[in-house]
Structure 1
Amino acid sequence: MANSFNELYNNILNAVFIEKAKQQLEQGVDGLGGADAYADQGKPDFALAHLLLTDAPDDVKRDILARAYERRAELTEAKAESFDQQFHRPFPLVKLEAQKDRLSAQQVRQGKRIRRGAKSLTMN
């Protein structure tokens, strides 16, 4: 039997994100809506925190988390292109982070643990 969403992804998140999500939920923020909003912003850590604290089907949670990684990849690629133009040289490590996020999204969609060689750069 496959692991549940929470079993797969509970241990990959810093406690700070969980605490922030708990505070927001206590203030009346809808957990699934909050996760969805963070996914649209490309913030998988915040989306995941809300998803771990929300009661929803695993396939819905996987879709939201995967979208968060995909969106962050899009934003990271745009940042890399901007840097390329601004500084007239390539930024392959930034582009590599986008590739890692796309891989993470794929792993989430397949119901697998996220396996990444290095921590992501936060591109906010």
Structure 2
Amino acid sequence: MPNSFNELYSNMLNAVFLTRAQQQLEQGVDGLSVAEAYADQGKPDFALAHLLLTEAPDEMKRDILARSYERRAELTDEKADSFTEQFNRPFPLVKLEAQKDRMSAQQVRQGRRIRRGAKSLTMTP
């Protein structure tokens, strides 16, 4: 694979997430465990910050990041369904965000840079 995990994904994160992750790591938390926990909560930005600062095989990091996007997509779909039931109308833009997260997960699993927005529907390297 031509690009490492950090090369592919370090530029897509706001510095505040990295600062927070660095503070947690300095307090002695296990970065990989924390990244896993954030992935389970569907929080890819927090998971990514810890993954960027933690030593682990790129394949493992990609799996955790992809799972965080997949989980966020699940939670977003649940929210859209709840809103549809509550307000008796569909919420297609919320569903679209879930679709974008699934595309992001797929791109991460393939070792590609994440393309969001209009380009996210066509997976480019």
For this structure pair, what is the TM-score category when the shorter chain's length is used for normalisation? Answer: over 0.9
Paired residues in the alignment total: 118
Question: Where does the alignment leave 5 or more consecutive residues of structure 1 unmatched?
Answer: 119-124
What is residue 100 of structure 1 aligned with on the other side?
A: 100
Cα distance in 1 for residues equivalent to 2:2 and 2:37:
27
Cα distance in 2 for residues equivalent to 1:106 and 1:71:
13
What is residue 47 of structure 1 aligned with on the other side?
A: 47
Q: Secondary structure at the match of 1:56?
A: coil
What is residue 74 of structure 1 aligned with on the other side?
A: 74
Q: Deviations over 1:22-66 (max 9, x none)?
A: 011111110000100000000000000000000000000000000
TM-score of the pair, normalised by structure 2 = 0.93
Cα distance in 2 for residues equivalent to 1:89 and 1:107:
31
Q: Identical aligned pairs, as a percentage?
A: 81
Question: Where does the alignment leave 5 or more consecutive residues of structure 2 unmatched?
Answer: 119-125
| One-letter identity of the residue aligned with 2:74 | E
Q: Secondary structure at the match of 1:115?
A: coil
Pairwise CA RMSD of aligned residues?
0.8
TM-score of the pair, normalised by structure 1 = 0.94
Q: Which moved more, 1:109-118 or 1:63-72?
A: 109-118
CA-CA distance at 1:108 after TM superposition: 0.1
What is residue 38 of structure 1 aligned with on the other side?
A: 38
